[in-house]
Amino acid sequence: MTDLLELRNVSVFYGGRPALDSVNLHIPHGAQVAVVGPNGAGKSTLFKAMMGLAPLRTGEILIHGRPPSEYRDPVAYVPQREEVDWRFPVTVFDVVAMGRYGRGRWLKRLSVADRDGIHRSLERLNISDLAQRPIGELSGGQQQRVFLARALAQKPHVLLLDEPFTGVDISTREATLELLSSLKARSVTVLVSTHDLDLASGRFDQVVLLNRCLISAGSPDEVFTEKHLQAAFGGQMVVVNGKAIVVDQCCGAHGPVGGVDGCRCETCNWARGAREDEP
């Protein structure tokens, strides 16, 4: 598979501090990728940067060799639920319809084809009966399905899902995984951020492991080694393939890996070396 997404030396800063630090990454066309790392590792920032919502301090992001602003095939983004104002007075149908308004179409009326696509997306997520309900009245799982339906209505070439499994019921979780399987058959490139390393290992082709810098990227077996996990999750316990691993070889005094110059614990030394070795 050829590369679809390419990040070259991407850094994003908030308030003078790096949220992403010199990330180099290649995502093949049609891949399904789990983006994992501890809280504050830059997973959400990575997606926002890909959407042009977070300005880059350094580097560039390319989709098939073009900046996101020049790429014309649909890229769909489903943010974390807590980032959405659920009090906004719109119906489920209105939200899903937003997926049919591409660049330059905001003042145009929905066509018959648009309405058919909206209804198919509602049916695909089993929420047709909610079409006229205000979005703010729904449960967390129902709201997640609405945003997935909106993304599906875009007929995306690339789909970015930020923590879609957090705070949802089992049926919504399974519906999401089923949707991802159907998109894989259509060669849609999918990136999903998640805290569930077991899920990342068992259900995704590739894994990207972040802690502001890129720790590792590749197959789950390549990424989920004890050394990589120590670099990303120092001082925490993680579970991969049903096995609990305590990664406690980091001094824990510095916050994110390599965050303070002069820290010489084993994990930070390794992480700094891995970052410096990036092409």
Is position 96 within any domain?
Answer: yes
Is position 126 within any domain?
Answer: yes
Q: How far is CA 160 from the centre of its chain?
A: 5
User: Which residue type sits at 35?
Assistant: V
Is position 205 within any domain?
Answer: no
Supply the pLDDT for residue 237: 60
Q: How many domains does the chain have?
A: 1
Question: Domain limits at 132?
Answer: 91-152
Supply the pLDDT for residue 21: 93
| Rg of the chain, C-alpha, whole Å | 19
Supply the pLDDT for residue 110: 83
Is position 10 within any domain?
Answer: no
List all residues 6 or more positions away from 169 whose beta carbon is below 8 Å from its beta carbon: 139, 140, 141
> DSSP code of 110?
P
Is position 165 within any domain?
Answer: no
Is position 119 within any domain?
Answer: yes
Please give the chain's pLDDT, 279 residues, in tens.
467 889 999 999 988 889 999 999 999 999 999 999 988 899 999 999 998 889 999 999 998 888 877 777 788 999 988 788 888 889 999 999 988 876 445 556 788 888 999 999 999 999 999 999 999 999 989 999 999 999 999 998 999 999 999 888 899 999 999 999 999 988 899 999 998 888 999 999 899 999 999 999 999 999 998 888 888 887 666 667 666 565 544 444 444 444 334 444 444 454 444 444 443
Q: Where are the beta strands (DSSP E) in 58-211?
A: 58-63, 75-78, 158-162, 189-193, 206-211
Is position 182 within any domain?
Answer: no
Closest CA to 207 of 13, 21, 18, 43: 43
Is position 54 within any domain?
Answer: no
The predicted model scores a pTM of 0.81
